[in-house]
Structure 1
C-alpha cells in the first residue's frame, strides 16, 4: 500500500470498518500518519461514491459522532438510514453511544 494514493489508503481503511461501528475522519488521518488532515479524509469520502469496490462512507463521522458528511449522500436521510440498518442509533444527526461504537484503526489494523 506504500505507493497507493492518499485516497486509496483512506478507502482501504474505511472498507475495514465493521458494520455497526463508526470511526472519525481524524482517526483515519492519524492512522495514515497524516494527523491534521481530517479534512482531506472528508474530501476522499466525498469522492468515494463512484469507487469500486464500494466504500462504506456512512461509517465515517466527525470526532464527536455527528453526521457531518450526510449532505454527500444525495438524500438528507440516507447516511442515517444506512447506519440505522446496521443497528447504530442516531438522534439529532449524532451517533448515540459513540464511544462504545467507535472503531479505532490504530488499535484494530496493522499498516
Structure 2
C-alpha cells in the first residue's frame, strides 16, 4: 500500500496551471483513488503540497470543502490561469496532467 507521502511527492510535481485527478495519481502509484482522496483531505495544511490541483475525473472541485473557505480551491486554480465554471474546470482535457506520461522515464 502506498503512503500519503508518496501521493504528496507526485502532487508536488504537478505544474502551475495544470490539474490531475485522484484516479490518475492512483493509477501511477498502483493504488486506489480513495487513498489518494484521503491523502488530499489531509494535505490542505501542507504549504508545499498543491492539493488544489487534484480534482475528480470530470474536473469537478470535489475537494473544495477541505480548504480554508469554500472558494479557496477555485481561487487558487483561477490564479494559475485555469477557468472554473459551476465548480468544474473548463477544458479539463487541455489542462490535464497525466503522471503516467509526464513522469515516464
When normalised by structure 1's length, the TM-score is: 0.89
**Alpha-carbon distance in 2 for matches of 1:79, 1:30:** 23
Task: Give structure 2 stretches of 5+ with no counterpart.
Answer: none
Residue 22 of structure 1 corresponds to: 19
Q: 1:50 pairs with 45, 48, 52, which one?
A: 45
CA distance in 1, matches of 2:70, 2:46: 21
Q: Deviations over 1:43-81 (max 9, x none)?
A: 1011112336x1000000000000000000020100000
Match of 2:78 in 1: 84
Q: What is the root-mean-square deviation in Å for CA atoms of aligned residues? A: 1.3
Counterpart Cα distance in 2 of 1:101 and 1:28:
15
Which ranges of structure 1 fall in alignment gaps of 5 or more residues? none
1:67 aligned to which of 61, 72, 83: 61
